[in-house]
Amino acid sequence: EDQVTQSPEALRLQEGESSSLNCSYTVSGLRGLFWYRQDPGKGPEFLFTLYSAGEEKEKERLKATLTKKESFLHITAPKPEDSATYLCAVQGNSNYQLIWGAGTKLIIKP
Amino acid sequence: EAQVTQNPRYLITVTGKKLTVTCSQNMNHEYMSWYRQDPGLGLRQIYYSMNVEVTDKGDVPEGYKVSRKEKRNFPLILESPSPNQTSLYFCASSPGAGREGYEQYFGPGTRLTVT
């Protein structure tokens, strides 16, 4: 069964304190792994797609990496405005639906 | 501006009163989808549409209908809303083909309360 697990559920950091969020997945043939950012009460905002193990993508203070079993979202020197829930989703080769993780709520304290 | 729009953004209604939430995208996307998001349950797909000819159930379709008569619009219909359909609803679209085909772009959300 296709599955996505995100950890931790919540993460509190001080401004400038770098850390990583984890997305572990089980899927029959990975078509793509997606990272989104969601602010409270708003729609998820697309960040990255990763397609194959070893791939990395960066955007400002965020860097996403992918292995055959998991993806990490590294946050370098975060700022309070990086506070949000970060969602991970995967798409397998067997269907078009995305399988979503429950998200990691990130709080950056000034 | 490329976007997905939803209306209404907020809706309070009573049990059994039929309602429609509209969704429109201006990106010429083939794929459209509806999700609901509830605390502790994450995003759950209600229905999706590969193109104007193909629509299929997601994980939680009971109590909902959809219609895809034209590419840009994908309304969500609640024929007889019940309190357990109180939720935050999102419409999303994606190109549906090519390498970036399933990068979904979300609307702003519709917060529905059924009393």
Which of B59, B102, B106 comes nearest A44 by C-beta?
B106
pLDDT at B2: 85
pLDDT at A34: 96
pLDDT band at B42 (very low <50, low <70, confident <90, very high): confident
Give the closest-approach CA distance of A46 to chain B in angstroms: 7
For the stretch A53-98, pLDDT in tens is 999 999 999 999 999 999 999 999 999 999 999 999 998 887 778 8
Best to test chain B binding among A4, A5, A59, A100 (most B CBs inside 10 Å): A100
What average pLDDT score do residues B84-89 get?
A: 97
Q: Output the CA torsion sign for B33, B55, B5, A92.
A: positive
pLDDT at A64: 98
Best to test chain A binding among B10, B43, B60 (most A CBs inside 10 Å): B43
pLDDT band at A52 (very low <50, low <70, confident <90, very high): very high
Q: What is the dihedral of CA B51, B103, B97, B107, to 10 degrees?
A: 30
CA nearest to A26, candidates A49, A51, A3 = A3
For the stretch A3-34, pLDDT in tens is 999 999 999 999 999 999 999 999 988 999 99
Interface contact B50-A96, CB threshold 8 A: yes
What average pLDDT score do residues A35-55 get?
A: 95
